[in-house]
Amino acid sequence: MKRILVVLFLTAYIATNAQNIKSPSEFLGYELGTEFSRHHEVIAYYNYLAQTVSDRVSLKPYGKTNERRPLMLAYVSSAENMKNIETIRANHLKNTRGEGNTEVAIVWLSYNVHGNESVSTEASMQTIYELLTKKASYLKNTVVIIDPCINPDGRDRYVNWYNENRNTPNNVDPKSKEHHEGWLNGRANHYMFDLNRDWAWLTQVESQQRLKVYNQWLPHVHVDFHEQGVDSPYYFAPAAEPYHEVITNFQRDFQVTIGKNHAKYFDENGWFYFTKEVFDLFYPSYGDTYPLYNGAIGMTYEQGGSGRAGLGILTRSGDTLTLKDRIAHHFTTGISTVEVASGNAKKLNEEFKKFYTNKNFKYKSYVLNGDNDKIKALTQLLEQHEIEYGWSDATTVKGFDYGSGKTKSSKTKNESLVVSTDQPKGTLVKVLFEPNAKLSDSLTYDITAWSLPYAYGLEAIASETKVNSPKAGSISNTSNTIITENTYAYIGTWNGMNDARFLANLLKENIKVKFSKKPFSLEGQKYDRGSLIITKSDNRNKKDFAIKLSEISKKHAKQLTPTSTGFVDRGDDFGSSSVHLIKKNNIAVLTGKPTSTLQFGEVWHFFEQQLKYPVTVLESDYLNAEDLEEYDVLILPDGWYGSFMNNNIQKELKEWVKNGGKLIAMGGAIEGLEGKSGFSIKSKKTEKDSTLIKHLITYENSEREGIKDLITGAIFKTKVDHTNPLAFGYGDSYFTLKLGDDSFEYLKEGTAVYLEEETTPAAGFAGSEARKRIANTLVFGTENYGRGHVVYMVDNPLFRGFWENGKLFFANALFMVD
Ligand SMILES: [Zn+2]
Annotate 638-682 with DSSP letters as a single string.
Answer: SB--TTT--HHHHHHHHHHHHTT-EEEEETHHHHTTSGGG-----
Question: Would you state the pLDDT for residue 16?
Answer: 43
R_g (Cα) of the chain, nearest Å = 28
pLDDT digits (tens, 9 = 90+) for 433-486: 999 999 877 677 799 999 999 999 999 999 999 999 988 888 877 888 899 989
Tell me which residue of 645, 678, 660, 675 sits closest to 817, measured CA to CA.
660
Average pLDDT over residues 109-117: 98
Residues whose CB is less than 8 angstroms from the CB of residue 800 and which lie 6 or more positions away in sequence, other chains included: 193, 194, 197, 198, 201, 203, 285, 602
728 neighbors 500 (Cβ within 8 angstroms): no
Cα(95) to centroid of ligand 1, in Å?
31
pLDDT at position 10 over 50 = no
Question: Would you state the pLDDT for residue 707?
Answer: 79
pLDDT digits (tens, 9 = 90+) for 499-530: 999 999 999 999 999 999 999 999 999 999 99
Query: Sign of the C-alpha dihedral, residues 544, 546, 549, 554?
Result: negative
| Average model confidence (pLDDT) across the chain | 93
Q: Are strands 297-304 and 320-322 parallel, antiparallel or unpaired?
A: unpaired
Cα(544) to centroid of ligand 1, in Å?
51
Cα(643) to centroid of ligand 1, in Å?
29
Q: Cα(280)–Cα(423) distance, rounded to whole angstroms?
A: 27
pLDDT digits (tens, 9 = 90+) for 176-195: 999 999 999 999 999 999 99
Least confident of 627-641, 683-697, 774-788: 683-697
Cα(189) to centroid of ligand 1, in Å?
12
Question: Would you state the pLDDT for residue 2?
Answer: 45
Question: Would you state the pLDDT for residue 623?
Answer: 79
pLDDT at position 624 over 80 = no
Q: Cα(813)–Cα(818) distance, rounded to whole angstroms?
A: 9
741 pairs with which residues across the strands?
A: none
Question: Would you state the pLDDT for residue 473?
Answer: 87
User: Residues for the chain: how many in total?
Assistant: 818
Is-cis flag, bond preceding 725, omega within 30? no
Q: Cα(264)–Cα(542) distance, rounded to whole angstroms?
A: 74
- Residues having C-beta closer than 5 Å to ion ligand 1: 114, 117, 226
Cα 342 to chain centroid distance, Å, stands at: 33
461 neighbors 268 (Cβ within 8 angstroms): no
Cα(595) to centroid of ligand 1, in Å?
21
Cα(158) to centroid of ligand 1, in Å?
14
Q: Where is pLDDT greater, at 359 or 244?
A: 244
Cα(186) to centroid of ligand 1, in Å?
11
pLDDT at position 400 over 60 = yes
Average pLDDT over residues 292-318: 97
Average pLDDT over residues 395-416: 91
Question: Would you state the pLDDT for residue 1?
Answer: 43
Average pLDDT over residues 51-64: 98
Q: Percentage of residues in the chain with pLDDT exceeding 70?
A: 95
Cα(239) to centroid of ligand 1, in Å?
15
Cα(214) to centroid of ligand 1, in Å?
20
367 pairs with which residues across the strands?
A: 418, 461
Question: Would you state the pLDDT for residue 388?
Answer: 97
Question: Would you state the pLDDT for residue 689?
Answer: 56
Phi and psi at residue 610, to the nearest 5°: -110, -60
Cα(306) to centroid of ligand 1, in Å?
8
SS3 content of the chain, % helix, strand, coil (to 5): 35, 20, 45
Predicted confidence band of residue 312 (pLDDT cuts 50, 70, 90): very high
3-state secondary structure of 570: strand
Cα(736) to centroid of ligand 1, in Å?
27
Predicted confidence band of residue 408 (pLDDT cuts 50, 70, 90): very high
**Which pTM does this prediction carry?**
0.95
Kind plus residue range of the DSSP H or E element containing 452: helix 452-455
Cα(288) to centroid of ligand 1, in Å?
11
Question: Would you state the pLDDT for residue 358?
Answer: 79
Question: Would you state the pLDDT for residue 704?
Answer: 67
Cα(212) to centroid of ligand 1, in Å?
22
223 neighbors 196 (Cβ within 8 angstroms): no
Task: Please report, for residues 102, 356, 464, 585, 612, the alpha-carbon distance to residue 359 in angstroms, rounded to integers and kept in the order given.
Answer: 22, 7, 13, 51, 41
State the Cα angle at 309 between 303 and 311, rounded to 5°: 105
pLDDT digits (tens, 9 = 90+) for 23-47: 999 999 999 999 999 999 999 999 9
Q: Cα(254)–Cα(270) distance, rounded to whole angstroms?
A: 24
Residue 306: what residue type?
Answer: S
Predicted confidence band of residue 737 (pLDDT cuts 50, 70, 90): very high
DSSP 574-600: TTSTTEEEPP---EEEEESTTB-HHHH
Cα(287) to centroid of ligand 1, in Å?
10
Tell me which residue of 587, 581, 623 sits closest to 603, measured CA to CA.
587
State the Cα angle at 464 between 460 and 469, rounded to 5°: 65
Q: Cα(787)–Cα(689) distance, rounded to whole angstroms?
A: 42
Cα(111) to centroid of ligand 1, in Å?
10
189 neighbors 115 (Cβ within 8 angstroms): yes
pLDDT at position 688 over 70 = no
Cα(597) to centroid of ligand 1, in Å?
16
pLDDT digits (tens, 9 = 90+) for 126-152: 999 999 999 999 999 999 999 999 999
Question: Would you state the pLDDT for residue 12?
Answer: 44
pLDDT at position 17 over 90 = no
DSSP state of 296: S
3-state secondary structure of 297: strand
Question: Would you state the pLDDT for residue 757?
Answer: 96
Neighbours of 477 (CB within 10 A): 10
Predicted confidence band of residue 693 (pLDDT cuts 50, 70, 90): low
Cα(545) to centroid of ligand 1, in Å?
50
pLDDT at position 603 over 80 = yes
Cα(119) to centroid of ligand 1, in Å?
11
Cα(159) to centroid of ligand 1, in Å?
16
Q: Cα(48)–Cα(125) distance, rounded to whole angstroms?
A: 11
